Structure 1
Amino acid sequence: MIKIPYLTALTTYFSYGLLFAFGQLRDFFRKCIDWWSKSNLQGYAPICLGLEDFYIRRLYLRIQDCFNRPISSSPDAWFDVVERISNDYNKTLKRTTRVNRCLNLGSYNYLGFAAADEYCTPRAIESLKKFSPSTCSSRVDGGTTTLHAELEESVAKFIGKPAAVVFGMGYVTNAAILPVLVGKGSLIISDSLNHNSIVNGARGSGATIRVFQHNMPCHLEKVLRDQIAEGQPRTHRPWKKIIVVVEGIYSMEGEICKLPEIVSVCKKYKVYIYLDEAHSIGAVGKTGRGVCELLGVDTADIDVMMGTFTKSFGSCGGYIAGSKDLIDYLRYTCPAHLYATSISPPAAQQIISSIKVILGEDGSSRGALKLAKIRENSNFFRSELQKMGFEVLGDNDSPIMPVMLYNPAKIPAFSRECLKRNVAVVTVAFPATPLLLARARICISAAHTREDLVRALEVISEVGDLVGIKYFPDEPEKPPLKGDRIKLE
C-alpha cells in the first residue's frame, strides 16, 4: 500500500487540475483558429482524440526530453547519453554531437551481460559470422537453426520444466500466448498491476477477465469462489478453463509475488497458474532461477512459466516453459511462432552463453558472484534510500526500486537535475502508471561498484532535497548493512 502524505496528494491533484484547465483553454482557442482558417480536413473525424491525446500534447510533449534519450554505447554501469536540443519548447528534439558519460540507473542490465563479456561476447560474434544477424524467416519455415534448438533445451533445463519454446520479443510472448491458451467461455483472473502485455493478451483472448487486488491471495480466493459459484455470464454454465496470471517481480512496483500463498489458493480450486518472470528470472534466487527458487515453490506447481531474455541475460526475446504437451500445442497454434521472424542467432547464442555463466558451466564462479553482487547492491541501495526519507516501493532482493515523485512538475525536475550531475534515471508517468502515482524507477545491476552506488546516492539525495521528494525525512534511521560505510552530505 502506497502511503501518500495528505499535503502531497492535495498539491498533486491541484497541479494536474491547473494543467488540465489551462490545456483545455488553449485547445478551445486552437479550435476557434482552426474553424476560422478552415485548415482542418472537412468531414473527417479527428484521428487523435480523447484524454490520452490531450495528455500527450499538453503534458508529455512539454517534458519529452526526459524520455527516449538516445545512447551511443552499451548499457553498462556507465554509458554515453547523447545530448539533445529544442528550439520549439520541446515539440521537436534534435540530436547534437555531444555526449555525456552518465551513471546508468535505468537499464535492465541486472547481471551485467549487456556489455562486453569475456565468455559471451566472443561466442555471439562467432554465431554472427556463422548464421548472420537474422534468419529472415519464421520458425516453421526456414527460421529454426541448431542454436534455437539448443536454446530451448537450455531454457527448459534452467527453468526446471520438461520443454520450452522461445520467441523474438518479450512483449509479444504474453500478448500472443494468452489468446492461444484461453478463449470464449474461459476465465482469466489477473493481478490488478500486471504488465500491459498481459492486459492486452487477456483482452485479445475473448475470455472473461476478472481482477484481484494486487498481491492479495485472500482477495484472489474470494474472486475465485464467487466466479466458480456464478459461472459464465448469462448462462451460468461452468467455466471451460480458469487461469490465474501473476508476475514474479512487478516491474513498476519492485514487489515480489506472494507465490506460495497464490499457489495454495489455485491448488485448492483446481485452476491453472501463469507466472510472468520477466524481471525475476536470472535476477533472484540462489542460482538465478527466479521467484520459485527464492520462495521455495516447486516449478511443477506452475502450469505456464513465462519470462524474457531482455533483462538478466542481456539479449532479446521471451520464452514459455511448461509440459511437453503444452509446448507442442503452442508450436502448432501460436502466431508468434508460426508467423513472426525467429529470434536472431547472435541473440540466441548470447542467452545460451549467459545461462552457462550463471550456472558455472563456463568453468568459473562469475555467475555466482554476479548473483551475490546484485542482491548485495539492491539491498544496500534500497536501505540507504529509505534512510534518506524517500518513499521507495518494493521488497528486499528486488533490483527494481521505484522512488515516488507524485507531482507532475517533479517528474522533469528530478530527471533533468540528475542528468546535469551525470546520473541517468528513468521517470515513469501515465499511462505506464496511474495518473497520480508518477515515480522514478531505479534499476540496480551487478555491474555497479560500491563507488558507483555511493555516487548515485549522493546525487539522488542532493536532487531529492532540491526537488522536495523526501516525503518521510523524520523516520528513524535504520542501522547500516554489515560492512557498509557511507557518508552523505
Structure 2
Amino acid sequence: MLRNGIKKLHPQNEVREECQASSFLIKKSLPQKEIGEEYEASSFLIKVTVYFSYFVLLVFGHLRDFLRRLGLEKNCIVRERNREGYVPLYQSFESFFTRNIYRRLCHVINNTICSTPGATVVVKERVSHDFNYTFEFTGNESECINLASFNYLGMAENNGKCADAVAKCLNENGVGICSTRHELGTLKIHQELEKLTAEFLGVEDSIIVGMGFATNTTSIPSIISKGSLILSDKLNHASIAFGCRLSGAKVTVFKHNDMKDLEKKIRASIVYGQPKTHRPWKKIILLVEGLYSMEGTIVNLPGLLALKKKYKCYLYIDEAHCIGAIGPRGRGVTDYYGCDPKDVDLLMGTFSKSFAGYGGYIAGCKKVIQHLRRNSHSFMYANGMSAPVAQQILTSMKILMGKDGTAEGSKRIRQLRRNTHYFRKKLKQKGFLIYGNEDAPVVPLMLYFMSKVPEFVTQLWKANVAAVGVGFPATPLLTARARFCISAAHTKDMLDKVIGAVESAGRLMMVDYSKKRKSQEEIIY
C-alpha cells in the first residue's frame, strides 16, 4: 500500500547512495517520445505590447477606484452592512483585477447555454449595462456550433442508447442516494461501474467519486502526508494543487512536461532529503496530467515511467481530459503510448467529459483502492453518485468497449481523431498559432492580448460558433487564448464553417501570428 508499504516498495536509501556517488548531469539516453507538440514563440514586440496594455488597464483601474471613492463614478462593489468593528470579509484590493479588468472584458463569455451540449447548442443572449454586475436577457436565441463543451465522444445526447438506459434506471432507482457509500449509499450499479472502469483501464480495481474536483482533493491527502515529497507539473489542474496543499507533504514544481528538469529535481530531493533534518523522504510521488486542458499537450509517459522505475517513485496521472479521447481504444494516455497501465500506480479520471456524466474515479491495484475506500473523505462523508448518472457512464463505457454488440465506440474514436487532425491542420494553414499535441482534441489558439479575447469570442458568436476565451489568471499573463474542444459529433461541414469564422475574426483582429504559415494545399479529411 502506498502509505504503509513504503519501505518495501521504495528503497530510497539505496537510490540516495547511488545519486550521491554520481554526477548531476542528466543522461541524454533518457527515453523520450516525439509527441507532436509545437510551441512557436511569440515575438518580442507582442510581449512588450501585451505588458503595455496591462499597464494601461491597471492605471485606468486605479483611476476609476479613485473616482469611486470621490463619488464621481457609480460604485457597484458589494458592501457589507452592520459590520462595524469587524474585519471586512471582502477586501477591495484583492478583487482589483476582477473589478476593473475582468468584469469589463468578460461580458460575451457570460451568455447562457440553454440546451443539450451536443454538436450544436442554443445560446440565449443576455446583456449588461453596468460592466457585468447585473444582466438582462434580450430574448434573442441562436443555434451555435458547440466548441465549448468537453463532449469529446458526442455522448451528451438526449436520445439514443444512453438516454434510454438512464430513463429506465431513473424509474427503478430514483435520483438521489441520500447516504454515503459506507452506509446505505452503495447500489449494485456502483459496484458494476467500478468493476467495469477497472476492466476498461486494465487494472485490478477502482473507486468512483461523485465529484471530479473532489476526486483529486480528497484522494491525494489519503495516500501521501507530511514527510513525503510531491513532484508536480507546473501546469497541473487546481484540484491537484489543492489536494497537494491538504496533504501536508512538501511540494516541488517542475517545468511543464520537462523530463530533464524533473530528473534533476528528483535527484536533488533524494540526495538532500527532507529540509532541516535531511532524512530520506517517506515516499516520493510524481503528479501529472495525461492531457493538459489549457495547453493541449500530452504527457511524456515513457519518460515518466523511466524516471519512476529508475528512482523508485510513485506515479499518479490525472486523465480527466484524455480518458475516452486519445488512444486507439480511447483508454487514455497508457493506450496512446502502448504502455502497461499497471506500471502507473494510480490512474485518476473524470466522467464529465467523454462519458457525459459527472464525478470521477481512482484506479490501481486492489490494496491501494481498498485503502482509499477506508480513508478517502469523498467516499466516507459524501453521498454516493446518483444512479441515473452512473447508468449514463456505464452505458457510454460499454459502447466505447464494444460491449453493446456494435462498433459505434471505435467509430466515434476514429471520428474524433479525424476531426482533431483536420481542424488543427487547417488552422495552422491559415496562419494561426496553435499550441499542443496534434492528437489532442483541446485546441488553444493564441491571442496574447486579454482585450482581444472577448472580441474574438463575440465575432465567433455572431457567426454562430460557441467557443471559450481564456486569460489571466487561468493562464499566464502573456498567453491569453481562445480554446476549441473538438467532438466526434462534429461533421466536416461544421468544422469548415468554424474555420471560416475563425479566419474572418482572426484577419479582422490581426491574430494570425504564426510565422510558419503552411502551404495552401488541400488537407484531406
Residue of 41, 44, 52 corresponding to 1:6? 44
- 2:260 and 2:240 map into 1 onto residues whose CA distance is 22
Structure 1: 5+ residue stretches without partners: 485-489
- 1:353 and 1:297 map into 2 onto residues whose CA distance is 26
CA gap 1:480/1:50 in 2 versus in 1, 3 angstroms? farther
SS at match of 2:287: strand
Equivalenced residue count is 481
- 2:55 and 2:69 map into 1 onto residues whose CA distance is 21
- 1:366 and 1:69 map into 2 onto residues whose CA distance is 33
Tell me what 2:13 maps to.
none
1:117 Cα offset (Å): 4.5
Cα deviation 1:419-438 (Å, max 9, x = unaligned): 11111110111221112211
Cα deviation 1:284-309 (Å, max 9, x = unaligned): 11111111011111111100000000
Residue of 58, 66, 73 corresponding to 1:28? 66
Residue of 240, 244, 249 corresponding to 2:282? 240
Tell me what 1:487 maps to.
none
Tell me what 2:117 maps to.
75
Tell me what 1:91 maps to.
133
Structure 2: 5+ residue stretches without partners: 1-38
Deviates more, 1:67-76 or 1:15-24: 67-76
- 2:436 and 2:389 map into 1 onto residues whose CA distance is 30
The answer to whether the Cα contact below 8 Å between 1:390 and 1:403 also exists between their aligned partners in 2 is yes
CA gap 1:6/1:52 in 2 versus in 1, 3 angstroms? farther
TM-score (norm 2): 0.89
- 1:358 and 1:257 map into 2 onto residues whose CA distance is 23
The answer to whether the Cα contact below 8 Å between 2:225 and 2:247 also exists between their aligned partners in 1 is yes
The yes-or-no answer on 1:288 pairing with 2:330 is yes
Residue of 427, 436, 443 corresponding to 1:394? 436
1:65 Cα offset (Å): 2.1
Alignment of 1:175-254 (within 5 A): 175-254=217-296
The answer to whether the Cα contact below 8 Å between 2:470 and 2:480 also exists between their aligned partners in 1 is yes
1:315 Cα offset (Å): 0.7
1:32 Cα offset (Å): 4.5
What one-letter code is carried by the residue in structure 2 that aligns with 1:368? S
CA gap 1:2/1:136 in 2 versus in 1, 3 angstroms? farther
1:221 Cα offset (Å): 0.5
1:326 Cα offset (Å): 0.5
Residue of 54, 57, 68 corresponding to 1:19? 57
Cα deviation 1:402-429 (Å, max 9, x = unaligned): 0111112101110111111111110111
The yes-or-no answer on 1:277 pairing with 2:319 is yes
Cα deviation 1:21-66 (Å, max 9, x = unaligned): 11012223333549xx999755443323376511110111112323
CA gap 1:39/1:333 in 2 versus in 1, 3 angstroms? closer
The answer to whether the Cα contact below 8 Å between 1:62 and 1:91 also exists between their aligned partners in 2 is no
Tell me what 1:64 maps to.
106
The yes-or-no answer on 1:266 pairing with 2:308 is yes
Tell me what 1:135 maps to.
177
What one-letter code is carried by the residue in structure 2 that aligns with 1:156? A
CA gap 1:117/1:288 in 2 versus in 1, 3 angstroms? farther
Tell me what 2:448 maps to.
406
Tell me what 1:382 maps to.
424
- 1:33 and 1:458 map into 2 onto residues whose CA distance is 47
SS at match of 1:76: coil
The CA RMSD over aligned residues, in Å, is 1.8
1:165 Cα offset (Å): 0.3
- 1:202 and 1:449 map into 2 onto residues whose CA distance is 41
The answer to whether the Cα contact below 8 Å between 1:111 and 1:370 also exists between their aligned partners in 2 is yes
SS at match of 2:106: helix
SS at match of 2:282: coil
- 1:50 and 1:182 map into 2 onto residues whose CA distance is 37
